[in-house]
Structure formats: C-alpha cells, structure tokens
Amino acid sequence: MPHMLHLRTKTIAGPLVAALLLTACSSGAPSPAAAAKGTVHIDVHGWVGYEAQAAVLAYLLEHELGYKVQKRKMKEEDSWKGFETGQVDVIVENWGHSDLKKEYIEDKKVALSAGLTGNKGVIGWYVPEWMVKKYPDITNWRSLNKYSSLFRTAKSGNFGQVLDGDQSFVTNDEALVKNLGLDYRVVYSGSEDALIKAAQVATKNRTPVLMYFYEPQWLFTKVKLVKINLPAYSIGCDAAATKVACDYPPYLLDKIVSKKFAETGGPAYELVRNFTWSNDNQNAVASDMINGKMSADEAAKKWVDENKIVWKDWIPR
C-alpha cells in the first residue's frame, strides 16, 4: 500500500499549498504580477488643470495597467530637482521652462520630454468683460496708464495693481511693467484660487481687476474675461528675463519624465507618452472638481467612463 498512500498525500498537499498561498496573499503580500508593475511617482503643481490631468493619468495607470501611483504636491522648479534625485517620474504639464530643460535635459541628461499634452497654453493679462464694454480701448496696453487709477488697491498704493498668482508661476509681469513704462505694481495673490476668486468677485460686483491668468482653465466656462493686447510676441523677445517687453508666447504644453522612467517604465511610460487631449477635456475634469465638488479621483473616473473613445488608443497594446 505505500504507492496508494503516496498518491493520497499528493492529493492532500495540493489544496494545502493553495490554501497557504491564499493566506499569504490575503495577509497583504503582493502578488508577483502586482509587484512587477511597480510605482509611478507623479508630481502635482499648483493649478487645478494640472491636477485634473494628473488625476486622469493616475486613474488609467492604476485601473487599466495595474500600477500604483504616488502623487506629491510640489512647486514647479522643485519638481525638476526630483529628476536628479529619483523622487519624480513624471511632470504631466510643463509650461516652457527652457532654462530648466537646458539644465536637466541637455546638461545633466536626467530628464526628457515625453511629447505634447495636446493642450494649447495661453498666458496673459485679463480684465472682466464688463470693463471692455465700458472702456473699449482698455485692451490696448498703451491705454493702461490712462486707467491705472481704477486698479489701485491698498497693496499697490499710488499705482494700479496687476494681480498675479503664486510667485513660482511662469511670469514676466514685473519686467513688463518696468519696460513698458506702466504706472502699475505687481501684487502676488499667492495662488490660483485667489486669482479665480478675484475674477468672480470683479464680475459679480463690477469692480475693476487687471490680472495675470491663463488657459486652459475651467473658469472661462463660467466667467467672461478679455485678454489685454500686450506688444506682440516674437521669437527671442523674452530671451533676457529683465528686458522682456512683449506678450507671452503661445505654449504647446508637454510632459517631462525622468530618463530612468523612460528607459524602464515600460507600459507606464508608453501611456504617458501616448497621452494627448484638448483644453476642453481638461476643463471638463477641472470643472467637475471645482463646480461639481468632486474629488480628483471621482472627476477622473467620470471622465474616463464617458470618454473611452479618447483614451483607448493611449493604452499600450
């Protein structure tokens, strides 16, 4: 009977081993497949459009490809340092930063561009639409000194106020005021939220505001703002930061990734590289976050559920 006993032992051992493996998995041990996928580190910068884009990418990485995503909130310049230290894999929306590209992509060779996001970026000075109707020539920068008294605040004193956002945002405004000979002073509000509130209050209460702002931005679906015509941008007119006397360039926004992530990120890198959408797509997610009171994850899920035709080709085959 030893042969029969051996067969029974094997029969019992199979379920026993399976049970032990199940227990190991249920106790928190990662499966080999999950462990192989790894973690993608995405930095989140201080405006809601960026957060919306990061949320959609993170949702797809997690739910379509099985990666874990870690997000951290950082200022733009500090994020780039993370390419050298290995703390960041992806910046999902980059606005120019030719100086940082030279340092980290060309010189240190620790990062590279992963292609355009599809968004068309615009930075400029804006006033509420009601002001343009009342003062039709106010959109001409040469007329701004005539109206500077309208924009005086406690913080700007005897000068008109140009309201900016966070000091880390891409801005030439102090140089523009000086080099165009404008009777204005740049005042930093400290955040995108403060800029948005200022635009909303100025529209609702018909109070003057001249502010730095940008597109894509969900606010344009709710509040009518008109861009000031600063001296036209030409290539090289902003080469010397202290001498800028022209409008901001049009921005074709791109994604920046660490060189290591590009080389070893596999399908995760392919998804980031393939990602491309429109200003309207981004504004829809951002609006759900702000106006719909959704979390970034909830807004991302809603967009993903409703827009498979847009993102299905981003998924690596």
Domain ranges of the chain: 39-118+252-314, 121-243
pTM: 0.75
Give the C-alpha separation, 44 to 52, whole Å.
Answer: 10
- Indicate the CATH number for domain 121-243: 3.40.190.100
CATH fold of 39-118+252-314 reads: D-Maltodextrin-Binding Protein; domain 2 (3.40.190)
CA distances from 199 to 92, 93, 204 (A): 26, 24, 9
**Phi/psi at 124 (5° precision):** -175, -170
DSSP, collapsed to helix, strand or coil, labels residue 188 as strand
Residue 138 has, within 13 A of its CA and on its CB side, a CA count of 23
- Residue-level pLDDT, tens digit, the chain, 317 residues: 333 333 333 333 343 333 333 333 333 333 333 334 799 999 999 899 999 999 999 999 999 999 999 999 999 889 999 999 999 999 999 998 889 999 999 999 999 999 999 999 999 999 999 999 999 999 999 999 999 999 999 999 999 999 999 988 889 999 999 999 999 999 999 999 999 999 999 999 999 999 999 999 999 988 999 999 999 999 999 999 999 999 999 888 999 999 999 999 999 999 999 999 999 999 999 999 999 999 999 999 999 999 999 999 999 98
All residues at 6 or more sequence positions from 253 whose CB lies less than 8 Å from its CB, including other chains: 93, 94, 95, 116, 117, 119, 120, 121
CB atoms within 10 A of CB 74: 19
Q: Is 317 exposed, middle or buried (0-12, 13-18, 19+ CB in 10 A)?
A: exposed
Quick one: pLDDT at residue 76? 87
pLDDT of residue 98: 87
Specify the pLDDT at position 36. 46
Fold matches, 39-118+252-314 and 121-243: yes
Residue 174 is predicted with a pLDDT of 97
What pLDDT score does 135 carry? Answer: 97
Residue with tokens 């200003």: 279
